[in-house]
Amino acid sequence: MVNVEKGIRSKLLSFSVNFGKLSVIATAILPPIFGIFLFFLFWFFISIFIKELPGPINTLKTLFELLSNPFYDLGPNDKGIGWQMLASLKRVFLGFLIGSLIALPLGFLIGMSSTMRRVLNPVVQVLRPVSPMAWFPIGLAVLKASNEASIFVIAITSLWPTLINTALGISSLPEDYKNLSRVFGFPLRYYILKVLLPYSLPYILTGFRLSLGIGWMVIVASEMLAGGVGIGFFVWDSWNALNLENVLSAILLIGIVGLFIDFFFAKLMERVRR
């Protein structure tokens, strides 16, 4: 009798644990699925009233067709969606890297020195709001190539969130940390690497996250002007061919890739905070 009761309790405990896990999974998964369902439902009804707008069913069919053979290559102006996306990602990450190499030292400098903050703040505030596409002619005139001009636009528009967040993280270092560093006589290099950098790392990663998001948004408009290979060129070329299913498919892909980039940095920030 005792063994039977123990067996029943064990099964009940196992069931409650499994049910708890299922409820956690359901809580995490069901709301996003419901949100996506509402989005597609809204899109479906809009497409009924606006005849020119392809509906979600036709768009998803086109998207699956594009993804079924993403890496075909039939010449400079006829490449698969995979090549288009890879070309855009290459430009974005290269521009982001260049922008970060500029933003990080400047952010440390502004955050560490109130004098440099007063000197550079007006420059930052003047250049930061400039439209990304306003920089494209400058990049084209200086670099003489549309591909390099696109990378230049990504670099100069994506550096501001990293610069501002880095400066904010450095300047918000508690006074106790600074006083302790003075007491122990930390050299400047040790102070930066062992005190400033670990404390400001969450701020820096937030800047990286915002910068990459901006770069990914800007690349589409930049490639529309630059031409060649890239997801922005694919969107513009599809519009010129009046193929709105391709345009909407590319928009969905752009959003999905942006979601994965943001998700990666969100998880990285969680690990850093722990």
With a pLDDT cut of 70, the percent of the chain lying above it is 89
Q: Is 59 domain-assigned?
A: no
Q: Which domain holds residue 110?
A: 64-273
Burial class (CB in 10 A: 0-12, 13-18, 19+), 236: buried
Does 159 share its domain with 180? Answer: yes
Q: What is the mean pLDDT of residues 86-102?
A: 93
Q: Residue 30 falls within a domain, yes or no? A: yes
Total domains in the fold of the chain:
2
> Do 217 and 171 fall within a single domain?
yes
Q: Rounded distance, CA 271 to CA 274, Å? A: 5
Contact (Cβ atoms closer than 8 angstroms) between residue 149 and residue 139 = yes
Rg of the chain over CA atoms, in angstroms? 25
Tens digit of pLDDT for each residue in 191-203? 888 888 888 888 9
Residues 6+ apart with CB under 8 A from 91: 147, 150, 151, 154, 219, 222, 223, 230
pLDDT of residue 156: 93
**Nearest residue to 244 via CA among 230, 252, 82:** 252
**131: alpha, beta or left, given left = phi > 0 and alpha = psi -120 to 50?**
beta
Same domain, 46 and 97: no
pLDDT digit string (tens) for 142-183?
A: 888 888 999 999 999 999 999 999 999 998 888 887 777 777
CATH number assigned to the domain comprising residue 225: 1.10.3720.10
35/156 same-domain check: no
